[in-house]
């Protein structure tokens, strides 16, 4: 039997569910990747994510060549390319991992139909999360809508096999000299994209190195993770997004470490599963509010205010520093994602979907489920057990989580000379810095009125 392992958002060989299953079932396995033009065509030509993917694919190809095989690569539409590969190589089955994003679901359905016509089949496996879809349900047999009870049920269900490595027999890899010429990895420029500098190393080697470094400070994670001026987070979200690192390895690391910091990190990994579950079971969140009553809000925020937010010129230093960092690197600290999102929706009164789309364009670690879930959480339109409408005060957040102004000074150089007190609110100082675009206290009341008008009880 001949098999093709089609990698998508799982750019590795190690602890890879579909690759493991393929090598168990087949005599020969070839690994393939498609630069999907339906995804790529709308993207800006300098999109950092394509640089990360291309470098990770280069490493994957090199690993396969070390094993005497090589990666098949094509640029185009998978619904056409997969049947072509199947016909050319006599592939009996294509193995891939699940992807619950709406486009991926549509694509895989089309691919499966075309493969059936070509005399093959598509088999898919859980890999991107520990528990997916309807694996963790409440006592009524329905998907959870609140994180805390979901987390308890997730932890109660967890067994060792859920996180054991998915081992592959690499001796089953298809020898490269028996593969047809062509379908080799093209240069990035040939795909139509420009090389970009990245703030982290790509590929499995980069993921392993970052995980190793993070593990050394894991005990302090719970204490340091909210401070953007510190190296307190794992920085692994990009690797988990593109699958250069297995989620099972992360959970194994957290469980093995066993500290309170490791348990806090595990809770964050469970949040990731939670948002993937929400997307799979409530796909309407892609276009609208999880709580549909909030779709009736007519957000009055202006295009000019949205532009100031995007540029990082709102006059609120922590918000501006966060946006400047995002625009320059494609990265934003999780605490700052909450602060920036709250400011756009609750201070500038701009529809959360505009901010969600901007993050989707800029974030190197953009993941539809997590990005949508995070924005709806901040906008009070999503899954949230809080009985009140959460509104972050950007100045208090700045003083609490960047107390010495370390992060602000890094990204807003005109404020570097100010004192630790002035750097959080420099207005009144002799400094060339934008006047605050709105007054927080006033906007807070307007936001509360908007949310209450949507039908939720006054708290």
Domain boundaries, the chain: 2-127, 129-164+204-281, 292-453
pLDDT for 455: 63
Q: Mean pLDDT, to the nearest integer, of 42-47?
A: 96
Asked if residue 140 has pLDDT above 70, the reply is yes
Return the closest-CA partner of residue 434 out of 342, 321, 328: 321
Question: At 72, is the secondary structure helix, strand, or coil?
Answer: strand
Asked if residue 58 has pLDDT above 50, the reply is yes
Supply the DSSP symbol for 134. T
pLDDT tens string 264-284 = 999 999 999 999 999 999 999
CA angle, 269 then 43 then 369, to 5°: 25
Confidence of residue 389 (pLDDT cuts 50, 70, 90): confident
Instruction: Report the C-alpha gap between 273 and 370 in whole angstroms.
Output: 9
Task: Give, for 129, the enclosing helix (H) or strand (E).
Answer: none
Q: Mean pLDDT, to the nearest integer, of 101-115?
A: 98
Q: Mean pLDDT, to the nearest integer, of 212-239?
A: 97
Q: Mean pLDDT, to the nearest integer, of 150-177?
A: 98
Q: Mean pLDDT, to the nearest integer, of 162-190?
A: 95
Instruction: Specify the CATH number of the domain 129-164+204-281.
Output: 1.25.40.80
Instruction: Report the C-alpha gap between 359 and 353 in whole angstroms.
Output: 10
Q: Mean pLDDT, to the nearest integer, of 107-136?
A: 98
Return the closest-CA partner of residue 136 out of 127, 128, 147: 147
pLDDT for 174: 98
Instruction: Report the C-alpha gap between 421 and 439 in whole angstroms.
Output: 19
- Pick 459 or 294 by higher pLDDT: 294
Asked if residue 42 has pLDDT above 90, the reply is yes
Q: Mean pLDDT, to the nearest integer, of 76-92?
A: 97
Tell me which fold the domain 292-453 belongs to: DNA Cyclobutane Dipyrimidine Photolyase, subunit A; domain 3 (1.10.579)
Confidence of residue 106 (pLDDT cuts 50, 70, 90): very high
Do the bridges between strand 93-97 and strand 122-125 make them parallel or antiparallel, or are there none, so unpaired?
Answer: parallel
Return the closest-CA partner of residue 41 out of 15, 79, 7, 76: 76
Identify whether the C-beta of residue 11 lies closer than 8 Å to the C-beta of residue 53.
yes
Asked if residue 459 has pLDDT above 50, the reply is no
pLDDT for 456: 54
Q: Mean pLDDT, to the nearest integer, of 80-107?
A: 97
Beta bridge partners of 74: 34
The superfamily CATH assigns to domain 2-127 is HUPs (3.40.50.620)
Identify whether the C-beta of residue 191 lies closer than 8 Å to the C-beta of residue 40.
yes
Q: Mean pLDDT, to the nearest integer, of 395-413?
A: 98
- Pick 389 or 43 by higher pLDDT: 43
Name the burial class of residue 453, with classes exposed (0-12), middle (13-18) and buried (19+) by CB atoms within 10 angstroms of its CB: exposed
Mean pLDDT score of the chain: 96
What's the token pair of residue 185? Answer: 């990895």
Instruction: Report the C-alpha gap between 56 and 12 in whole angstroms.
Output: 8
- CB-CB neighbours of 277 under 10 Å: 25
Range scoring the smallest mean pLDDT among 35-44, 178-187, 194-203, 430-439: 178-187
Task: Give, for 198, the enclosing helix (H) or strand (E).
Answer: none
Q: Mean pLDDT, to the nearest integer, of 385-399?
A: 87
What's the token pair of residue 363? Answer: 């974030």
Catalytic residue positions, numbered: 268, 271, 299, 334, 352, 375
Q: Mean pLDDT, to the nearest integer, of 8-28?
A: 98
Asked if residue 84 has pLDDT above 80, the reply is yes
What's the token pair of residue 342? Answer: 């709250």
Tracing tokens 């953007």 back to the chain, one arrives at: 228
pLDDT for 457: 42
Range scoring the smallest mean pLDDT among 225-229, 245-249, 428-432: 428-432
Q: Where are the alpha helices (DSSP H) in 26-101?
A: 37-40, 48-66, 78-89
Confidence of residue 180 (pLDDT cuts 50, 70, 90): confident
Instruction: Report the C-alpha gap between 31 and 275 in whole angstroms.
Output: 29
* Ramachandran area for residue 174 (φ above 0: left; ψ -120 to 50: alpha; else beta): beta
Return the percentage of the chain with pLDDT > 70, whole number. Answer: 98
Distances (CA, A) of 127 to 132, 244, 271, 370: 9, 12, 16, 17
Distances (CA, A) of 347 to 27, 77, 141: 60, 42, 39
Asked if residue 387 has pLDDT above 80, the reply is no
Instruction: Report the C-alpha gap between 346 and 91 in whole angstroms.
Output: 54
Confidence of residue 430 (pLDDT cuts 50, 70, 90): confident
Do the bridges between strand 93-97 and strand 2-7 make them parallel or antiparallel, or are there none, so unpaired?
Answer: parallel
Phi, psi (deg, nearest 5) at residue 215: -60, -30
pLDDT for 458: 39
Q: Mean pLDDT, to the nearest integer, of 123-139?
A: 98
pLDDT for 384: 75
Asked if residue 19 has pLDDT above 50, the reply is yes
Return the closest-CA partner of residue 249 out of 378, 180, 366, 163: 163
Return the closest-CA partner of residue 359 out of 384, 334, 391: 334
Beta bridge partners of 3: 29, 93
């Amino acid at each position: 039997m001949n098999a093709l392992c089609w990698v998508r958002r799982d750019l590795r060989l190690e602890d890879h569910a579909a690759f493991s299953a393929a090598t168990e079932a087949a005599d020969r396995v070839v690994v393939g990747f498609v630069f999907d033009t339906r995804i790529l065509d709308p993207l800006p030509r300098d999109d950092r994510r394509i640089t990360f993917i291309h470098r990770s694919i280069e490493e994957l190809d090199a690993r396969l060549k070390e094993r005497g095989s090589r990666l098949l690569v094509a640029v185009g539409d998978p619904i056409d390319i997969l049947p072509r590969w199947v016909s050319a190589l006599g592939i009996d089955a294509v193995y891939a991992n699940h992807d619950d994003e709406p486009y991926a679901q549509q694509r895989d359905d089309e691919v499966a139909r075309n493969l059936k016509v070509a005399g093959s089949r598509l088999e898919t496996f859980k890999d991107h999360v520990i528990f997916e879809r309807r694996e963790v349900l409440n006592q009524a047999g329905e998907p959870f809508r609140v994180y805390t009870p979901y987390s308890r049920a997730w932890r109660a269900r967890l067994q060792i096999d859920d996180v054991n490595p998915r081992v592959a027999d690499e001796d089953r890899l298809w020898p490269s000299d028996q593969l047809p010429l062509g379908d080799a990895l093209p240069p990035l420029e040939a795909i139509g994209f420009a090389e970009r500098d990245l703030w982290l190393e790509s590929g499995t080697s980069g993921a392993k190195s970052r995980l190793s470094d993070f593990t050394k400070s894991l005990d302090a994670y719970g204490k340091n993770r909210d401070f953007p001026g510190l190296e307190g987070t794992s920085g692994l979200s990009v690797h988990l997004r593109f699958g250069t690192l297995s989620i099972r390895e992360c959970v194994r690391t957290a469980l093995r470490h066993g500290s309170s910091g490791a348990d806090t990190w595990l809770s964050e990994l469970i949040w990731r599963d939670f948002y993937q579950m929400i997307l799979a079971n409530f796909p309407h969140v892609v276009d609208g509010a999880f709580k549909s009553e909030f779709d009736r809000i007519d957000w009055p925020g202006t295009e000019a205010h949205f532009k100031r937010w995007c540029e990082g010129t709102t006059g609120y230093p922590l918000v501006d520093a966060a946006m400047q960092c995002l625009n320059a690197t494609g990265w934003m600290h999780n605490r700052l994602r909450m602060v920036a999102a709250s400011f756009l929706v609750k201070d500038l009164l701009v529809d959360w979907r505009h901010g969600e789309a901007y993050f989707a364009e800029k974030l190197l670690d953009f993941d539809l489920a997590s990005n949508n879930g995070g924005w709806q959480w901040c906008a009070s339109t999503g899954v949230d057990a809080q009985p009140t409408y959460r509104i972050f005060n950007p100045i208090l957040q700045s003083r609490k989580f960047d107390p010495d102004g370390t992060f602000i000074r890094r990204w807003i150089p005109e404020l570097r000379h100010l004192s630790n007190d002035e750097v959080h609110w420099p207005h009144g100082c002799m400094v060339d810095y934008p006047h605050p675009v709105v007054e927080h206290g006033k906007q807070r009341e307007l936001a509360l009125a908007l949310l209450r008008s949507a039908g939720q009880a006054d708290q």
